[in-house]
Chain A
Amino acid sequence: MTRLVLFLLALLSFGVAHAAPPVIEIEIKDHLFYPDVVVIPADTKVKLLIRNLDPTPEEFESYELNREKVITGNSQTVIFIGPLPAGEYPFFGEFYPKTAQGKVVIE
């Protein structure tokens, strides 16, 4: 019985360890991020699903998050971030930085 419990616990912990990270969706439209503020719990890995609804490509860039990725027009992509300590991590669209601005807030 003890072995069975241990086995189930091990199975559970394996499942937890390999659980898919939460997905947060961000859209790019008219060279703006929607939402432009993304709130994420501290010390949590997150999968950003970014949909570029513009016909033109954009590059998601963040010096603070150490991330950069080109997203072609009318397409979607995935960027993993975290786990990170609490704080604010700005990001921007490198191709249209005047308008495409946002930040990740870790709480």
Chain B
Amino acid sequence: MLLNAVILILQETLEAALLISVLCAICCMQKQKFTALGVGLMAGFVCAFIYAFNLQTVSEWFDYVGQEVVNALLQSVITILIAVFFWDMLRRQNSSEQAVAGGRPLSMPGFMLAAAAIIMLAVTREGSEIVLYVGGLIQQTEHLQAVWMGTSLGLGIGISIGVLLYYGLLGLPRRWGRWVSIFLLALIAGNMWSQAVMLLTQADWIPSTQPLWDSSAWLPEQDLMGQLLYALVGYESTPSPWQVLAYLAGFVLVAAVVILAWPSQDPGGAGSGVGSGARA
């Protein structure tokens, strides 16, 4: 029971922890305070409880596929918010150069609100499963100690991996840290749309098709590496063509936004942008 609790909590924590880490790293590079992100996290915890307690009602919507539809919506909105995050951040980079030149102070950036909303939605989705799992187990008093220990260990390991990623990204040379962070968020954006498609296929809103490939023989999803890759980049051993297409679309959307919104006055593309603060 203990080991199972550790694995399950870790799986649920990891995906949100990695997303939060990359966002925190980018915000740190932008010399932003983490206040908004903390508020997003707290709001996520509250929403996770609300969602968990109402999951039965939600599940009954749309002829018992409400859970898939709502989760797909949450995932899809995260992808769009990642695009909004980069758009606002990079456009602001343009205007901040003008603002600095004009001596105007900058207000609370909209991209920080987008980051907070991303964290809130991700924690709502993953946290609600933890709430349901732990809530179910604590009804059985014989498992109580194992549950709390497993939950603490799972959360601890998940958060530790997130912290490692955060410092790893900040520890990279400035230019690399910036590009790796953008790349990871673009992959996460693709993964969110891919998962949304999987959920809508499960709900029979999208027709089911044969997998595009089957890599389960050499990299099973249930293995440690498969789990880690699933959490980080949304690895699937048997994805449908629609999932792959959605993944590519999410990735391309974020990549296109980054390219289009990239500061035009950026000298050689290295002096500003996402990594401007990392010089400090």
Contact = CB atoms under 8 A, between A and B. Distances in A.
Interface of A: 21, 45, 47, 55-57, 59, 63-64, 66-67, 69-73, 75-83, 85, 94-98
Interface in B52-109: 55-56, 59, 63-65, 67-68
Contacts of B211: 66
Contacts of A21: 204
A70 B216 contact: no
A78 B65 contact: yes
Given A56-B140, A63-B222, A72-B59, A80 B133 contact: no
A76 B64 contact: yes
Contacts of A67: 202
Nearest to A69: B67
A95 B133 contact: yes
Contacts of B65: 78
Given A57-B132, A83-B208, A75 B8 contact: no
Contact of B236 (A55, A66, A72): A66
A96 to B, nearest CB: 8
Nearest to A50: B64
Interface in B4-62: 4, 8, 55-56, 59
* 4 A-B pairs with least C-beta separation: A56-B136, A78-B64, A80-B204, A72-B56
Given A57-B132, A64-B216, 17 more contacts: A45-B204, A57-B133, A57-B135, A59-B133, A66-B211, A66-B240, A69-B68, A70-B55, A72-B56, A73-B136, A75-B56, A77-B67, A78-B63, A80-B202, A80-B208, A82-B208, A95-B133
Interface string B201-245: 111100010110000100011100000000000001111100000
A98 B146 CA distance: 15
B55 A72 contact: yes
B192 interface: no
Nearest to A54: B136
Interface of B: 4, 8, 55-56, 59, 63-65, 67-68, 129, 132-133, 135-137, 139-140, 198, 201-204, 208, 210-211, 216, 220-222, 236-240
Nearest to A73: B136
Contact of A80 (B139, B203, B222): B203
A81 B210 CA distance: 11
A106 to B, nearest CB: 13
A70 B4 contact: no
B208 A77 contact: no
A95 B68 contact: no
B190 to A, nearest CB: 17
Contacts of B208: 45, 80-83
A12 to B, nearest CB: 21
A63 to B, nearest CB: 5
Given A63-B216, A80-B204, A80-B208, A95 B136 contact: yes
11 contacts: A45-B208, A56-B137, A56-B140, A63-B216, A63-B238, A76-B64, A80-B204, A81-B208, A82-B208, A95-B136, A96-B4
Nearest to B214: A64
Contacts of A71: 59
